Amino acid sequence: MGVSRLDVFYRRLLLSKLFIGGWGKPEDLKRIFEFRKIIGDRDQCKTLVSQDYPVYINKTEEHSDCHIHEGYFISPLEHFVPGILPPEAVKARFQFLVPKRWQKDRPVCIHLAGTGDHFFWRRRTLMARPMIKEAGMASLILENPYYGYRKPKDQLRSCLKNVSDLFVMGGALILESTALLHWLKREGYWPLGMTGISMGGYMASLAVTNWPKPIPLIPCLSWSTASSVFTTGVLSRAVNWAQLEQQYAVNSVYEEEIIQLLQYCGADSIKMGPELVKNMDCVEHLLSLSGPGRAPVTRFSSSEADPEVLIGGVDKKSGPGDRAEHILSAVKTTGTKVESVTSNCCVNTSALEKKRDFTKCCRPSLHQESIGFMKGVMDECTHMANFSVPVDTSLIIVVQAKEDAYVPRTGVLSLQEIWPGCEVRYLKGGHISAYLFKQRVFRQAIYDAFNRFCLKYPNLH
């Protein structure tokens, strides 16, 4: 799989860091993982969101081609996992664009936001308004938690503060999408479908796995899991690995308790196999990650590590047969969890101090361990194989870029394997070029999926 140089160049222009707060509170991760077990099984959560869940319209504007309704409702996640959402995100806000003249039926497509898509303007301009003109199709634009009006005060732009924030966002959007689908159905709209670009495509996919009826789904520039995005894609360069590594090393709860809650164990689960390492090396080469000030992933990550300790993964002081090299090799090839290695690597003699004093503790492959943990928690909450298969996969049209450097497909299960019967359409180029120049292709895929639904289920209202 080739890598788009435009994707790489664009990533280098963005200097903001993701997850500057770290992994998130361990108790929050535990609550999220427990709730994931529920929403991951469609049969368990049929009645989580009632069919008459309250949704309100508080403002309507009339335009030449449509009515734009602004509405809100309380996120159902607040009822099931109280306090997990930041206060600003509890109220879900949306815009509903309804054409003045319907061409056929009253179709509505729900659009979920991609990374950096705050408020409503971008989706309204690039997708919703053209869809009214081209197909007489209504659009409901839901604002993601942590974005726009729902952005926490201490969050910098689009950069989620904690890794756990992404999982909270996903859980909220699954339930919020269900509430909106119920509301649209009550109001007599039909057929209903969901779409999103990039992160919005992931979130739309997760939401559809929870819906108990056939529904068109059009995920654009997304794939089967978000783990590859943050571990092998160019966006991994934006992750604040120093903070994540420090928390992982200091707080034993992540490796001793949290990792025990990870249930996904598919063919691509927490396996740092040759393909994954190869892809990581490719990205690091393109982004020049191995330059001054950054240790390669197979070296010590501590700021006070002895530069003579590991050269190319070999401990010069202890010889090539040292246990550290053996563990490094095991991690690189199998992804097995590394046991804490404290002998001969810490100045302090107290085991407790060794664990807590990060600046004096040098753990071989700590960066690699953190990447493995990131893959594990990401797969737990975003891997499509960890959720129910949509009721009718033939209504799914995936649009993917062949040279997407943001959403790597190497080393992870394909959507065709997880959702047999879905259609995948490939575009030339990468993530950025597809987003900038292929919006019409995304819209055509939406029309095709809706037409497919109408032909297959003409009486399913």
Instruction: Give alpha helix (H) positions in 290-383.
Output: 323-334, 351-356, 366-382
Q: Which two tokens stand for residue 205?
A: 């996919």
Distance of CA 352 to the CA centre of its chain: 35
Residue with tokens 């368990």: 44
Q: Which two tokens stand for residue 350?
A: 């107290």
Stretch among 215-229, 272-286, 371-385 having the lowest mean pLDDT: 272-286
Say what the pLDDT of residue 292 is: 37
Classified as helix, coil or strand, 168 is helix
Computed over every residue of the chain, the mean pLDDT equals: 81
pLDDT at 320 over 50: no
The 10s digit of each residue's pLDDT in 385-437 is 999 999 999 999 999 999 999 999 988 999 999 999 999 999 999 999 999 99
Cα four-point dihedral sign 385, 33, 301, 335: negative
The 10s digit of each residue's pLDDT in 261-295 is 887 767 776 544 444 444 444 445 444 443 333 33
Strand partners, 26: none
Measured CA to CA, the distance from residue 295 to residue 367 in angstroms comes to 9
Measured CA to CA, the distance from residue 124 to residue 340 in angstroms comes to 51
Residues in contact with 84: Cβ distance below 8 Å, sequence separation at least 6, in sequence order? 28, 31, 32, 77, 78, 168, 171
* Parallel/antiparallel/unpaired status of strands 217-220 and 192-197: parallel
Q: What is the residue type of 310?
A: L
C-alpha triplet 228, 234, 236: angle, nearest 5°: 65
The 10s digit of each residue's pLDDT in 9-24 is 666 766 678 899 999 9
pLDDT at 360 over 60: no
Domains and CATH numbers, the chain: 5-268+367-456 (3.40.50.1820)
